């Protein structure tokens, strides 16, 4: 009887373990920094998504970014810093802040992306 309860508990907890590893956010605006390290005007884009898995980050800004996560550091207040490599092994840093916005830092490029509210994701998922 206790084995059945243990198996039930394991199967009940399994989906919760994978939820934290896969996140998808939508956005349609991006800001970038200029040579004086000042944030420029917000640029409007077509609807885009950024996808976080346990070992990869995928998004499209000025180009397609297919990033492999090298390390992950959790910050206070639900922040996360990801040290990544792109497809050409260039270092890229991604900072996710409270599932609300993210910063992407490449050699000379700096981007700020504010995510749309979660209800936009539900509508996006319904279109599939």
pLDDT given for residue 11 in this prediction: 46
Q: Tell me the pLDDT of the chain (128 aa) as tens digits.
A: 454 554 444 444 444 444 446 999 999 999 999 878 888 898 998 899 999 999 999 999 989 999 999 999 999 888 999 999 999 999 999 999 999 999 999 988 999 999 998 764 444 444 44
Contact 88, 36 (CB under 8 A): no
Q: pTM (2 decimals)?
A: 0.74
- Residue 112 has phi, psi (to 5 degrees) of -120, 125
Length of the chain: 128
Contact 31, 111 (CB under 8 A): yes
SS3 113: strand
């Amino acid at each position: 009887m206790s084995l059945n309860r243990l198996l039930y508990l394991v199967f009940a907890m399994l989906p919760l373990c994978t939820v934290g590893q896969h996140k998808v956010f939508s956005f349609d605006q991006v800001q970038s920094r200029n040579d004086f390290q000042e944030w420029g005007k917000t640029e409007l884009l077509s609807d885009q998504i950024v996808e976080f898995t346990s070992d990869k980050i995928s998004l499209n800004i000025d180009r397609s970014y297919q990033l492999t996560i090298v390390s992950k550091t959790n910050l206070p207040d639900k922040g996360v810093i990801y040290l990544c490599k792109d497809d050409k092994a260039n270092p890229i840093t991604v900072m996710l802040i409270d599932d609300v916005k993210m910063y992407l830092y490449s050699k000379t490029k700096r981007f700020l992306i504010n995510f749309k509210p979660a209800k936009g994701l539900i509508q996006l998922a319904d279109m599939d």
